[in-house]
């Protein structure tokens, strides 16, 4: 089996070569890596502490001392955004990863096995859909206490539902393809067929949906935090900053603009990278694109 794995890397190797020729996707990747790096190093490179207040200063527009201005408590916005990125990016990536893993596996198994297994698995998904999201989260919080890790899990546990549906639809289509039947006639086990023949062929829509999930997860976190179920002030996240920014956008527009721009930039970068990855992972798109 190990030898198959080694040869199996060539789709990814080819994808990487193709991705390197797609400058827009590389730019997206670079932006995301930069944001991650900044978030990682924030405690050391942030110009101020994130809870450092200066009530006398109040809300000031961008200046040489505070590049992105300060909020009503006189806290430096650049610092707040940098710390916020730590929360937002972690939530975004971890919750999406949870959704991705559960959703793809769940959908692939349901779609591939079909029949009664599929019916039961998809009814579970339906029930989860019907469950009011808020109650679900509140229940989790009550049972396990407030915990940022739990927040990731809770969001991921909701977001995987759509992913599972998308993958299941794809897989049901693929299952009838002759190359899957050929794999059967070679005597491959079901798990090998799912892993090697089914999942790689669902990557296109999965990647696009993933890049759409990350920003929506970040906003979901803001919503939960706003209700007091997520992270607590004085901690911050991009979503929270935007929420507070909206309240004061007429008097202090920079409180909305800068976090907004940061989140949009992340979203753009993710979309470019996602489109690039989708094309790169599809051998049918030309290699010299």
Least spacing, CB of residue 183 vs another protein, in Å: 8
Picking from 34, 87, 82, the residue whose alpha carbon sits closest to that of residue 218 is 87
48 and 17 Cβ atoms separated by less than 8 Å: no
Between 129 and 191, CB nearer to another protein: 191
Least spacing, CB of residue 27 vs another protein, in Å: 22
What is the binding site for another protein (CB under 8 A)? 1, 3-4, 6-8, 10-11, 177-179, 181-190, 192, 196-197, 200-201, 203, 281-284, 286, 288-289
Inter-axis angle of helices 238-247 and 254-280, to 10 degrees?
140
Picking from 143, 103, 151, 142, the residue whose alpha carbon sits closest to that of residue 124 is 103
Least spacing, CB of residue 227 vs another protein, in Å: 43
252 and 69 Cβ atoms separated by less than 8 Å: yes
Q: Count H helices, E strands: the chain? A: 12, 0
Between 3 and 64, CB nearer to another protein: 3
Between 4 and 64, CB nearer to another protein: 4
Between 94 and 180, CB nearer to another protein: 180
Least spacing, CB of residue 85 vs another protein, in Å: 35
Picking from 196, 194, 205, the residue whose alpha carbon sits closest to that of residue 10 is 196
CA distance 26 to 176: 36
Between 178 and 250, CB nearer to another protein: 178
Between 172 and 249, CB nearer to another protein: 172
Least spacing, CB of residue 153 vs another protein, in Å: 32
Least spacing, CB of residue 288 vs another protein, in Å: 7
CA distance 256 to 261: 8
- What is the per-residue burial (b if ≥16 Cβ within 10 Å, else e) of 161-180? bbbbbbbbebbeebbeeeeb
Burial class from Cβ neighbours inside 10 Å (0-12, 13-18, 19+) for residue 55 reads: exposed
The tokens for 213 are: 């999930």
Point out which residues pair with 76 in neighbouring strands: 70
Least spacing, CB of residue 282 vs another protein, in Å: 8
Between 129 and 179, CB nearer to another protein: 179
């Amino acid at each position: 089996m190990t030898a198959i794995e080694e040869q199996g890397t060539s789709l990814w190797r080819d994808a990487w070569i193709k991705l390197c020729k797609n400058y827009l996707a590389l730019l997206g990747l670079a932006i995301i890596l930069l944001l991650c790096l900044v978030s990682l190093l924030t405690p050391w490179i942030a110009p101020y502490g994130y809870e450092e207040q200066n009530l006398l200063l109040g809300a000031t527009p961008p200046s040489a001392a505070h590049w992105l201005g300060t909020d009503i408590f006189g806290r430096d916005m650049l610092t707040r955004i940098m710390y916020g990125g730590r929360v937002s990016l972690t939530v975004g990536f971890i919750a999406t990863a949870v959704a991705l893993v559960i959703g793809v596996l769940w959908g692939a198994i349901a779609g591939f096995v079909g029949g009664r297994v599929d019916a039961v698995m998809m009814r579970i998904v339906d029930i989860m859909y019907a469950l009011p999201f808020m109650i679900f989260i509140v229940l989790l919080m009550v049972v396990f206490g407030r915990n940022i890790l739990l927040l990731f899990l809770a969001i991921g546990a909701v977001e995987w539902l759509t992913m599972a549906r998308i993958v299941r639809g794809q897989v049901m289509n693929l299952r009838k393809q002759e190359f899957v039947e050929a794999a059967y006639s070679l005597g491959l086990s079901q798990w090998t067929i799912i892993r090697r023949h089914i999942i790689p062929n669902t990557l296109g829509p999965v990647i696009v949906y993933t890049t759409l999930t990350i920003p929506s997860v970040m906003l979901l976190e803001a919503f939960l935090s706003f209700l007091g179920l997520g992270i607590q002030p004085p901690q911050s996240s991009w979503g929270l900053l935007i929420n507070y920014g909206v309240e004061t956008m007429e008097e202090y527009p920079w409180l909305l603009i800068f976090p907004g721009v940061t989140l949009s930039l992340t979203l753009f970068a993710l979309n470019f990278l996602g489109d690039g990855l989708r094309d790169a992972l599809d051998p049918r798109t030309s290699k010299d694109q």
